[in-house]
Amino acid sequence: MSQDNVFDALSSKRSRYVLTYLRAVESSVEILELVETVAEWETGKPIDLVSEEHCGRVATSLRHSQLPKLSMMGMVEYDEADGVVERGPHAEQADAYLDVASERDENVSV
């Protein structure tokens, strides 16, 4: 994967959050867990303080934009039918960039 493709994959904060979380858990996760984590990190609040509307926007964005794009690039494996996501074969190419982004984002807690 070219450096431009890696940067394209990481251009969205939500995509960076997805990849950061999947790297931390080192297993497949259900979409709902991913949505809640991304919503918490975006708002800097625990999930019980995040609005349902915000969670809905995150879910729609992940399902229709970020996850398909990351899947096409091989950064995640996304099983839409089962609602499960895991790191893809090219995910490690983004790890160094994710380290820098995570260190600079006070809302990320992994």
10 Å CB burial of residue 61 (0-12, 13-18, 19+) is: middle
**Band (6; pLDDT cuts 50, 70, 90):** confident
Instruction: Judge whether residue 108 has pLDDT over 90.
Output: no
- pLDDT, tens digit, for every residue of 19-76? 999 999 989 999 999 999 999 999 999 999 999 999 999 999 999 999 999 999 999 9
Q: Which of 59, 68, 60 is nearest to 34 (CA)?
A: 59
Q: Using CA atoms, how far apart are residues 9 and 19, in angstroms rounded to an integer?
A: 10
User: For residue 110, what pLDDT is reported?
Assistant: 60
Statement: residue 96 has pLDDT above 70: yes
